[in-house]
């Protein structure tokens, strides 16, 4: 049981290789692109969608449009065949996680996904066990931030995080739920 909860067994901190050398560091840090430009359903849907090829080409039809690194992207668009990514974060089928409510109530991307802006290849940063989920659902305060800062990778509460979290919970109308059917249906 203990072993099952080790970072190794949870496959944490292991960079996942992708078919394309996509670098989050470059896009978010160097170019300052907001997470939601690409993952643009995160505040509307349960699923923070992986961007369609067309979205990549919004920029890359103009910049680096001859780069050999981007050949798979162009090929995907021309052949109308999707890019196939390897999944990093996954909850089991009997868990119904919803991004929009978390983002809408001020849980930052970084809280669960870590410093993606520092990852060459994305790796899982959190265990995604039920205990880990419940930890926050029981005491969400220290993980709350203003909704405007959810995509900010470096935001920190000024002063006592729990105290500011309590104010934010009130302001954002946060009601975490721990009933089973909140996630299991």
Binding site for other proteins (CB under 8 A): 9-11, 16, 41, 43-47, 49-55, 76-77, 80-94, 96, 98, 100-101, 104-105, 124, 127-129, 173, 175, 177, 179-182, 184-185
Comparing CB distances to other proteins, the nearer of 11 and 161 is 11
Q: Would you say the C-alpha torsion 52, 122, 7, 97 has a positive or negative sign?
A: negative
45 vs 118, which CB is nearer to other proteins? 45
Q: Please, which residues have CB within 8 angstroms of residue 127's CB and are 6 or more apart in sequence?
A: 5, 7, 10, 12
DSSP secondary structure code for residue 126 in this structure: S
At residue 107, the 3 state secondary structure works out as strand
Shortest distance in whole angstroms from residue 84 CB to other proteins = 5
Nearer to other proteins, 158 or 170 (CB): 170
> What's the sign of the alpha-carbon dihedral 24, 30, 32, 33?
negative
Structure tokens at 54: 């067309």
Least Å distance, CB 132 to other proteins, is 10
Taking the complex as a whole, the smallest distance from the CB of residue 157 to other proteins amounts, in Å, to 22
- Report the residue count for the chain: 185
Residue 178, φ and ψ in degrees, nearest 5: -125, 10
CB of 47 to other proteins, least distance (A): 3
Closer of 45 and 67 to other proteins (Cβ): 45
Residue 156 C-beta: closest distance to other proteins, Å: 25
Question: Do 70 and 22 form a contact (C-beta atoms < 8 A)?
Answer: no
CA 147 – CA 108 distance, rounded (Å):
8
Q: Which is nearer to other proteins, 64 or 96 (CB)?
A: 96
Residue 42 to residues 56, 80, 125: CA-CA distances in angstroms?
17, 24, 19
| Nearest residue (CB) to other proteins, 149 versus 161 | 149
């Amino acid at each position: 049981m203990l072993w099952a909860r080790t970072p190794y067994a949870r496959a944490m901190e292991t960079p996942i290789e992708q078919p394309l050398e996509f670098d989050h560091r470059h896009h978010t840090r160097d170019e300052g692109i907001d997470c939601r430009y690409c993952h643009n359903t995160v505040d509307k849907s349960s699923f923070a969608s992986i961007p369609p090829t067309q979205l990549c080409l919004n920029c890359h039809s103009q910049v680096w449009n001859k780069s050999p690194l981007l050949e798979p992207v162009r090929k995907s668009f021309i052949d109308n065949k999707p890019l196939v990514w390897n999944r990093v974060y996954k909850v089991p089928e009997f868990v119904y996680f919803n991004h929009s409510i978390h983002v809408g109530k001020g849980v930052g991307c970084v809280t669960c996904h870590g410093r993606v802006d520092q990852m060459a290849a994305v790796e899982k940063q959190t265990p995604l066990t039920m205990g880990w989920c419940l930890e926050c659902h029981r005491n969400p305060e220290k993980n709350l931030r203003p909704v405007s800062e959810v995509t900010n990778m470096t935001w920190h509460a000024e002063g006592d995080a729990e105290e500011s979290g309590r104010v934010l919970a009130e302001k954002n109308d946060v009601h975490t739920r721990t009933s089973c059917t909140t996630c299991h249906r």
